[in-house]
Amino acid sequence: MIPARYAASRFPAKLMQDLSGKPVILRTYEAAIKTELFDEVFVVTDSSTIYDVISNAGGRAIMSIKEHDCGSDRIAEAVEDMNVDIIVNVQGDEPFTDRESLSSVLEVFKSDITEEIDLASLMVHITDLEEIENPNTVKVIVDKRNFALYFSRSPIPYPRATDTDVKYFKHKGIYAFRKRALMDFQKLPMLTLEATEKIEAIRYLEYGKKIKMVETTVSGIEIDTPEDLKRAQDAWK
């Protein structure tokens, strides 16, 4: 499932921007199809423009019925009556989505016999100070078993001690959910931490859900700003 909201506070209509001859959202959809990991791939959107772009290219799209504040809510509405076990959320602004990263997220469920994991996601080790301090880059800290402890737009952990070998991880916005965790999510009201940070993954933590983080070396390019789009256009060439 690829949630695709037309409006965006930092970069309006970013999913319809041109990326080497095709809109960003179509490039992302094609990348998800190309992985050959999924039974079905859908774009879930509030926009007739995005719906038509995907449909006219031979893809599958679903129009949201309700208004939604986040991608998880939008996907939950779309899959409510579908007979599925695991749903993967690929962000619409990630046209460089790759098979290796998605496969590693799905793999964690195969060994989760007790179904301890509610959802899984990706993290990338980052060392660039500007990226660490950039509020558009969501950071994550984990426990010894790589379960998420917290997500933040601030640098976490705060480097009060300068002699420790701390590693910073960027949260890469790809999730794999058990269906029940996703359906629970849409019924739970947003709490203060999520509202403050504007990070939907925090809602899962606030209500006790367990998020398994998987480290990947594939960073990709998330298109949040016009500068990101320029980097993506250069990289595509």
pTM over 0.75? The answer is yes
Dump pLDDT digits (tens) for 154-186. 999 998 887 888 999 999 888 999 999 999 988
Give residue 9's pLDDT. Answer: 65
Dump pLDDT digits (tens) for 9-33. 678 789 999 999 999 999 999 999 9
C-alpha closest to that of 179 among 34, 59, 48, 78:
78
Q: Where are the alpha helices (DSSP H) in the chain?
A: 24-34, 48-56, 71-79, 99-110, 129-133, 179-187, 192-197, 201-206, 226-236
Dump pLDDT digits (tens) for 25-73. 999 999 999 999 999 999 999 999 999 999 999 999 999 988 887 888 8
